[in-house]
Structure 1
Amino acid sequence: MRIYAAYDDGLRVVDPATGAVETRLSGQRVECLSVAHGEVREDADGATDPPRVLAGTFGAGLFRSVDGGSRFACVTASTLGPDGSGPDAVTAVATSPHDPDVVWIGTEPSRAYRSVDGGETAERVDGLTDLPSAAEWSFPPRPDTHHVRWIEPCPADPERWLVGIEAGALAVTADGGERWTDRPPGSRRDTHAMATHPDAPDRVYAAAGDGFAESGDRGDSWRVRDAGLDHGYVWGLAVDPGDPDTALISAAESATAAHRRGEAYLYRYRRDEGFDRLDERGFPTGEGTYRAVLASGRAPGEIWALSNRGLFVTRDAGDSFEQVPADLPDRAARALSVA
């Protein structure tokens, strides 16, 4: 197993068994990650191919590793951005669960691209910036721009994708980008992360600056869920691999508390119970803690959490956490993936 942690100065590849850390893409601001698990080879030894890692950077484009993160090469450089001039930033990337060669890429300014060769090349997905809400999109720290913050594939439909714009809209396509639904009823305006589970393919969770929401119809409509949630600025999100009804989120009272002042918390969401704040479970929260990024593991109950206080894992869906003794930066990470 490897853990991939994206920071503003590079990518850290962590061996959780030993705590060893290797830095890749040094000096690059890594914004987003997508990891496709290696396939089992149909040969005599039945070995598994290494995972493919995609890392989007702010200003240098998309990088790909086909050997689990040992080496990276820049890809799609000639096909992203206006007239192939390259994007200002790659801010979101997602791999289809139906076909690992299908990759969607989001950028700043807000554009979406689709690759059918594992990220080697990409073509623009039209229509997104023609949505009625596009004139209202704006990212507060850089108000003259905006970006695709998250892309989520549907586990039951290879043509359905959900795209979160920071900030201003959630957009859904049911036909691979030919047509779009702008701001489905109840959807959030500032989506930071979304999550699905193959055992509940119609359900989508969304963590947003304006709350936590859930869809039961693949993103066509949404309901806010906030029972027990004392902090409305939600950032990180991961679903229990063994239970689609259970998810963990990171949250704070505001963007300032989450990113600048450092006062963030961790919650567990259960659909039949609402939210439960996970204080004193082994994961640091409260004063001095920036918002965590989260990633589902590979076993029931296993969820990884990373903040400026370190890398932690729960194997019981949040009842308890243990820290990985890895030498990681003491600042907020941008993204987290597990393979």
Structure 2
Amino acid sequence: MFDTYVGTASGVYRVDGGAHHLGLPDERVSAIHAFRDGRGATVLLAGTYGNGLFRSDDEGRTWRPSGQGMEAPAARTLIPDPLNAGALLCGTEPGRIYRSADGGRTWAGLEGITALPGCDDWFLPYSPRAGAVRNILAPPGSQGRLLASLEVGGLLDSPDG
């Protein structure tokens, strides 16, 4: 049996036969990721639309900001880094990708996107921020390759993560 966590316009919920509100009621949660830490406790990361990332080390009872190093205010996707065991990736709005090697406590931007010509000119019709990374994946058997879908921008392909 496993729990399912859902981010909504009114916070985070755990679904396990019923829905249980876990906090962040004033946040629009646009991304959620759960994992077990070294002690076996469930850690939750919640990406919000406007206030960055929040972290809970106690299965959602308490939350604190967790986006040190991340400049983007809107986290749109959170995934385990398919190329670096134990690391996490976060796609944001504006369209950037950040990596965390410490369970989401601190983040560093991947420079590949910011090196693309015109990346600062990407736009979203509904937002003043430039583009949004919506999905990140590594194709099976792709030895270091990452793909990222960019809202109002297409598909980004990095051969070296």
Shift of 1:141: 2.1
- Partners in 2 of 1:76 and 1:158 — Cα distance? 29
Aligned equivalent of 1:51, options 42, 51, 64: 42
Partner of 2:4 in structure 1?
3
Residues of 1 paired with 2:108 and 2:83: CA distance? 19
Structure 2 residue matching 1:56: 3-state secondary structure:
strand
Residues 119 and 144 (structure 1), Cα distance of their counterparts in 2 relative to 1, 3 Å cut:
closer
Aligned to 2:56: 65
TM-score after normalising by structure 1: 0.42
Quote the offset at 1:29 in angstroms.
0.8
Secondary structure in 2 matching 1:127 = helix
2:70 aligned residue: 80
Q: What number of residue pairs does the alignment pair up? A: 160
The aligned runs of 1:1-339 (5 Å cut-off) are 1-16=2-17, 19-36=18-35, 38=36, 49-77=40-68, 79-81=69-71, 87-97=72-82, 101-132=86-117, 134=119, 137-142=122-127, 145-154=130-139, 156=141, 159-176=144-161
Q: 1:12 to 1:95 in 2, by over 3 A?
A: same
Q: Which amino acid aligns with 1:134?
A: C
Question: Cα 1:104–1:169, aligned 2, differ >3 Å: closer, same or farther?
Answer: same
Q: What is the letter of the counterpart of residue 79 of structure 2?
A: A
Alpha-carbon shift at residue 156 of structure 1 (Å): 4.3
C-alpha distance in structure 1 between counterparts of 2:80 and 2:5, whole Å: 16
Change (3 A) 1:31 1:137: same
Distance 1:166 1:149 in 2: 6
Q: 1:74 to 1:173 in 2, by over 3 A?
A: same
Offset at 1:3? 1.7
Q: Deviating runs (4+, > 4 A) in structure 1? A: 97-100, 154-158
C-alpha distance 70-109 of structure 1, shift in aligned 2 (>3 A): same
Contact 1:54 1:62 in 2 (8 A): yes
| 2:99 and 2:110 in contact (8 A); partners too | yes
- Would the aligned equivalents of 1:98 and 1:155 in 2 still touch at CA under 8 Å? no
Q: What TM-score do the two structures reach when normalised by structure 2? A: 0.81
Task: Describe the SS at the equivalent of 1:145.
Answer: coil
Deviation at 1:165, TM superposition (A): 0.9
Deviations 1:95-114 (A, max 9, x none): 12565531111222112111
How far did residue 123 of structure 1 move? 1.0
Report the CA distance shift for 1:66/1:114 in structure 2 as closer, same or farther (over 3 A): same
Query: Aligned partners of 2:3, 2:27: CA distance in 1, in Å?
Result: 20
Whole-Å separation in 2 of the counterparts to 1:39 and 1:157:
28
Q: CA deviation at 1:31?
A: 0.8
Looking at CA atoms only, which structure, 1 or 2, has the larger radius of gyration?
1
Structure 2 residue identity aligned to 1:58 = Y
Q: Which runs of 5+ in 2 are unaligned?
A: none
Percent of aligned pairs sharing the same letter: 34
- Letter of the 1:116 counterpart: A
8 Å CA contact 2:42, 2:59 repeated in 1: yes
